Amino acid sequence: MRIIVHTGKGGVGKTSISAATALRCAEMGLKTIVISTDTAHSLGDSLDKAIGPEPIEIHPNLWAQEVDTRYSMDKYWGRIQNFLTRLLSKGGTGEIVAEEVTILPGLEEGAHLLWINQYVESGQYDVLVVDAAPTAETLRLLSLPDVSRWWFERVIGLAQGATKILRPLGHLIGKGSAIPDDSAWADARLLFDTLDKVRDLLTDPEMSSIRLVVNPEKMVIKETQRTYTYLNLYGYAVDSIICNRIIPDEVTDPYFAMWKADQQQNIAYIDEAFGSLPLLRAPLFGREMGGLDSLRQLGNTLYAEHNPAVKLFDGKTHRIEQLGKDSYVLNVPLPFATKKDLDIYRSRDELTLRVGPYRRNIVLPHSLWDLEVTDARFEQESLNLHFARA
C-alpha cells in the first residue's frame, strides 16, 4: 500500500490536488481512497459528491471520506475522559474546566491517524491519499505521537494508580461502575500504540510520501520551507513539491504580465529552496476545479503519463539530528561539490549555501535559532554543520 499526504499553506489547492491524484490512481486501476483530515472539510465539494464519515465509493476504484473526529475520540478516550473529569471535579475543579483539561493534547487531529492505521491493516486499498490540514495543524498532527506519549506516561499513570484505590471504595458506596476498569485503560493504551504505529508508517519512505503544495508566491514558499525543515526534523519523507496555479504562457493579457514575471522568479526560488526535490507543475485553469471531469484534467496535466502512487524522490535534501541537549547537526548532501566551491551565510532563522553559481536556502527550526554554528565540515560529499551553545 502507498500513502500520499498533501499539505501546504491554507488556500493553495491541496484538496483539488488530492482529489485529482486519487482519481488518477483509481483510473489507473488502483483501489484508492482519499480522506480529508481538515476540520473545514471541502473534499466533497471538490469531488462534487456527497460524502461523509464512512468511506463511500464515488467512482470505479475510488472511495472518499471526511473523517468524523468525535466518533474516534469517543471510541478511544470517552470513558477515560469522563472518569478524569469526575475525579478533578470532586477535587474542587469546575466541571467545564476539568473537561477541557482532560482532553488529550492533539487528539482531535490524532483521530485522523487512527483511520490510516485501519486502512493499512485491512489491506483493502492500494493507495491512500490524505488531504491534510494546513501546515501548522499538520505539523502538530505528525508530532502527536511524541507529545501524547509524554502526556500518557505521566497523567494516565497517575490516574490509573488512583483507580486501584477508588474502585474498592466505589463498590462499597455503589459507585464502582463510574470508575474505569482495566479494559478502559487498555483502550487508552491501544490509542497510543496505534499512534506510534502510524508514525512508523508515515516515516517509511517505501510506504509513505509527503508532497508539499505551493503557489508561486514568496510568502507561501517561505512557509513551505519551514514545513519542509520540520518534516526533516521529525523524519518524514517529502518526495516532491507541487506548484499549483501557474499562469499559462498562452495568457498574454498585459494585465497579467507583472504577475507572470513574479511567478517565474518565485518558481526559480523554489528550485533554490528545495534542492533536488522534483517539482510538479499545475496551471491556473480558466474555471474552478470541481467535479470529476475537471479533476481528471488537473491530474492529466500534473502527472502526464506517470503513476502518482510511485515514489518520486529517493533520499533527503537535508536532515537535522539531535545529538544532545542544545546540540544538533544539519547534514546537507552536496554531491559533486568541493569545499572551495562552498560559501555559507547564516541569519538567525535561515541558512544560505552557495555552491558555485547555485544557491540553496534552508529555513532553520526554532530550536536552532539561538544556537551557534560551532563546527562545519565537508565529508563524503555532504556538509555537516554542528549547532550548539557558544
pLDDT at 267 over 50: yes
Residue 171 confidence (pLDDT) above 50: no
Pick from 24-38, 81-95, 201-215, 265-279: least confident: 81-95
Each residue's pLDDT tens digit, 56-108: 999 999 999 988 766 666 666 666 666 666 655 655 555 555 555 555 555 66
Residue 176 has pLDDT above 70, yes or no: no
**Residue range 94-127, pLDDT digits in tens:** 555 555 555 555 566 666 777 898 999 999 999 9
Query: Taking all residues of the chain, what is their mean pLDDT, rounded to a whole number?
Result: 82
pLDDT at 149 over 70: no
Q: What is the mean pLDDT of residues 148-171?
A: 54
- Helix axis angle, 135-151 relative to 107-122, nearest 10°? 90
Give the model's pLDDT for residue 52.
87
**For position 151, what pLDDT does the model report?**
60
pLDDT at position 310: 96
Q: Is the pLDDT of residue 192 over 50?
A: yes
Give me the pLDDT at residue 110, please: 66
Residues near 273 by beta carbon (within 8 Å), at least 6 away in sequence = 221, 224, 225, 360, 361, 362
Taking only the tens place, the pLDDT of each residue in 315-371 is: 777 888 889 889 999 998 876 677 777 888 898 889 988 877 767 888 898 889 999
pLDDT band at 177 (very low <50, low <70, confident <90, very high): very low
- Quote the CA–CA distance of 121 and 1 in Å, as a whole number: 10
Give the distance between the most distant pair of CA atoms in the chain. 83
> How confident is the model at residue 246, as a pLDDT?
97
How many C-beta neighbours within 10 Å does residue 381 have? 11
pLDDT at residue 96, rounded to an integer: 55
Q: What percent of the chain has pLDDT over 90?
A: 42
Cβ-count burial of 293 within 10 angstroms (0-12 exposed, 13-18 middle, 19+ buried)? exposed
Instruction: Read off the C-alpha cell for 95.
Output: 466541571
DSSP 236: P
Which pLDDT value is given to residue 387?
96
pLDDT for position 169: 43
Look at residue 124 in the predicted model and tell me its pLDDT.
Answer: 95
Is the separation of the CB atoms in 104 and 77 below 8 Å?
yes
Concatenated DSSP letters of 310-336 = S----S-S-EEEEEETTEEEEEEE-TT
